[in-house]
């Protein structure tokens, strides 16, 4: 039970895909302009990570080692296609806002990385928990970055005005603003990590 819990929560902080492993930064930079976009991308990627982890864990002994990466990509692409079709059918405005970055989940380093590093070596339950934990960590990172950018870049949250007479910092809403926010957050988390390590020692 303890091992299962560790697999579930490791992606939240200890192995957070964005702030620790530094994976999936391309969609993070592109879609984190608003909380809705960030949440939508996070949920889409989480669905793909969980689904591909489960299938790859089930089929790992049947997949020849020499062609494992193409096989993983086929599995991942299947879940991405399902995700894109669902978004087009039920969430067309979100699908239009995320644009090309939904199909590009196929080559997202988080998804392929978890397939290669974890699902191909572990059982179905642990792979499911790993996917859920990593996906949740990715969602939380996107929400944090998106929230800061939307609030400072437009004075809104989830599209609703938060401040009156607020002069937005338009640079924060631009791609360079995403790099700035991520850099500052990484510095902040590294300071916290250093302090925690110092106390432990």
Tell me which of 4-8, 42-46, 100-104, 170-174 is least confident.
4-8
137-191 pLDDT, tens digit per residue, is 999 999 999 998 888 888 888 877 887 777 878 888 887 888 888 888 888 888 8
- Residue 160, strand partner residues: 157
Predicted local distance difference test score (pLDDT) of residue 1 = 67
Give the pLDDT band (50/70/90) at residue 72: very high
List pLDDT tens digits, range 95-119: 998 888 888 888 888 898 888 888 9
Q: What is the 3-state secondary structure (H, E, C) of 107-138?
A: HCHHHHHHHHHCHHHCCHHHHHHHHHHHHHHH
pLDDT of residue 26: 82
* The two three-digit tokens of residue 115, written as one number: 């397939």
């Amino acid at each position: 039970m303890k091992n299962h819990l560790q697999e579930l929560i490791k992606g939240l902080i200890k192995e957070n895909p964005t702030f620790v492993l530094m994976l999936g930064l391309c969609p993070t930079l592109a879609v984190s302009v608003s909380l809705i976009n960030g949440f939508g991308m996070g949920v889409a990627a989480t669905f793909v990570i969980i689904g591909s982890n489960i299938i790859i864990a089930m089929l790992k002994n049947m997949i020849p080692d020499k062609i494992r990466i193409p096989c993983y990509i086929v599995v991942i692409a299947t879940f991405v296609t399902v995700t894109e079709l669902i978004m087009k059918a039920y969430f067309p405005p979100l699908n239009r806002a995320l644009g090309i970055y939904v199909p590009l989940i196929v080559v997202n380093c988080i998804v392929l990385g978890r397939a290669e590093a974890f699902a191909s070596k572990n059982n179905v339950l642990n792979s499911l928990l790993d996917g859920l934990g990593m996906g949740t960590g990715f969602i939380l990172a996107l929400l944090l970055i998106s929230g800061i950018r939307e609030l400072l870049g437009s004075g809104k949250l989830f599209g609703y005005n938060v401040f009156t007479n607020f002069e937005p910092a338009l640079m924060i809403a631009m791609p360079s603003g995403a790099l700035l926010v991520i850099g500052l957050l990484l510095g902040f988390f590294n300071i916290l990590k250093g302090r925690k390590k110092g106390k432990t020692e």
